[in-house]
Amino acid sequence: MKQRILLGMSGGTDSSVAAILLLEQGYEVIGITFRFWEEGENFHLQDAVKLAGQLGIQHVTYDAREVFRANVVQYFMDEYLSGRTPFPCVKCNNELKWKLILEEADRLGCDKVAMGHYVNIIQEDNHYFVTEGKDPEKDQSFFLWGLTQAQLSRIVFPLGQFHKTDVRAMAAVRGYKKVSEKKDSLGACFCSGDYRPFLKKQLAEPDKYIYPGNFMDEEGNVLGTHDGFPLYTVGQRRGLIHLNRKVFVKEIRPETNDVVLAPLRSMYKTEFLIRDVNVVDKSLFSSEFDVLCRIRYRKQNTLSRVVFLENRTARVELSEPLESIAPGQTAVFYRDGRILGGGFIS
């Protein structure tokens, strides 16, 4: 009997090709499209439904708009209003998307679930590890450190061994021209560009939260006026004030509505704390600087030591200083292309 698998179908090129590949591998594929956020007509959903029809597979639609708004969009706004820089895609992966798809998989009698991310899973010494996708330009491992071992044991990533160009070509060769030509999605699904107009629009009373305050230097001297602390992020360099020296946002102080500016040399740190930590196994971390820590999607890795503390928190010690470590963003630990875990910077 064929193994039944539930595939997240966003309507984009990647999950569409994932559907085709899973069918070719002999799975009985059911597609699911989550309605997370909609402004106007949902063409992605229409495309997913259409492709499922062409492929002759069952498709279900799940209206997740309310839980998405309450958990991901609200978190996104709360983080900015607390002076932090949110990472909504990780929040959604950690707390919503995978939980929902696995629940639906149980309901539909599917043992396995799949999505079109460019990553792989390997099983080694009784552990599951997410590993980097073959296409370095598309690798999405940075977003998936929150997956648990139980979740990983049921997940299949059909695209991890391919480059995006291969994936487009596979769709074209099989006659799915429109699928092969779809644009890549950028940023969060509900706010892909500048977050500031989005934040103002979503707040019922934006002026209550966002109003002018002081730019300060590290000594507490007032340097000028800003438009409201939620409109700035740690590490930001552009759109500040005109000074005859280069400055960055070093700190955001919501209680006083101050935004502290500092030169680059003040932006470096050699340690920081993380919370909501998830790791494959603590015993994989030693007391040496033996894991690579990455704090931004396309940033370099730094050799680190992780000291686990209480309540899913940890201290990350860096072998060399890193600049612009923004609270709210994530730190992800890698060894030999495998993800060992991660956490939110606090």
Ligand X SMILES: Nc1ncnc2c1ncn2[C@@H]1O[C@H](COP(=O)(O)OP(=O)(O)OP(=O)(O)O)[C@@H](O)[C@H]1O
Closest distance of CB 93 from ligand X, Å: 9
Smallest separation, CB 15 to ligand X (Å): 3
Q: Which stretch binds ligand X (CB under 6 A): 32-40, 105-113, 255-263, 278-286?
A: 32-40
**Site pattern 140..179 for ligand X (x: CB under 6 A):** ----------------------------------------
> Binding residue per annotation — 286?
no
189 belongs to the catalytic site = yes
Asked if 133 interacts with ligand X (CB under 6 A), we say: no
By the rule CB under 6 A, 12 interacts with ligand X: yes
Q: Tell me whether residue 192 or residue 225 sits nearer to ligand X (CB atom).
A: 192
Q: Give 11 or 327: the residue with its C-beta nearer to ligand X.
A: 11
Taking CA atoms, 157 is separated from 8, 88, 116, 140, 194, in Å, by 11, 21, 6, 11, 31
The residue range among 9-17, 173-181, 276-284, 329-337 that interacts with ligand X, by the rule CB under 6 A, is 9-17
DSSP 222-262: EEEEES-GGG--TT--SSS---SS--EEEEEETTTTEEEEE
Closest to ligand X by CB, 18 or 231: 18
- Cβ neighbours of 8 (radius 10 Å): 23
325, amino acid identity: I
Residue of minimal Cβ distance to ligand X: 12
Question: Is 185 near ligand X (CB under 6 A)?
Answer: yes
Q: Where are the alpha helices (DSSP H) in the chain?
A: 13-24, 43-55, 65-68, 74-80, 88-92, 98-107, 149-152, 164-173, 177-180, 195-202, 206-209
To the query of whether residue 191 is one of the catalytic residues in this protein, the response is no
88 is a site residue for ligand X (CB under 6 A): no
Give φ, ψ of 166 to 5 degrees: -60, -40
- Side-chain-facing half-sphere of 265: CA atoms under 13 Å: 1
Whether 180 has a binding-site annotation, put simply, is no
Give the contacts of 257 (CB within 8 A, at least 6 positions apart): 211, 213, 214, 228, 229
| 116 is a contact residue toward ligand X (CB under 6 A) | yes
Say if residue 77 carries a ligand binding annotation.
no
Applying CB under 6 A, which of residues 20, 105, 115, 316 lies at the interface with ligand X? 115
Q: Would you call 34 exposed, middle or buried from its count of C-beta atoms within 10 A (0-12, 13-18, 19+)?
A: buried
Determine phi and psi for 338, rounding to 5 degrees: -100, 145
Asked if 251 contacts 232 with a C-beta cutoff of 8 angstroms, the reply is: no
List 110, 189, 191, 293, catalytic entry? 189
State yes or no: residue 8 binds ligand X (CB under 6 A): yes
Q: Would you tell me which residues interact with ligand X (CB under 6 A)?
A: 8-10, 12-15, 32-34, 36, 115-117, 185
Enzyme catalytic residues: 92, 189
Q: Which residues are documented as binding site for ATP?
A: 8-15, 34, 116
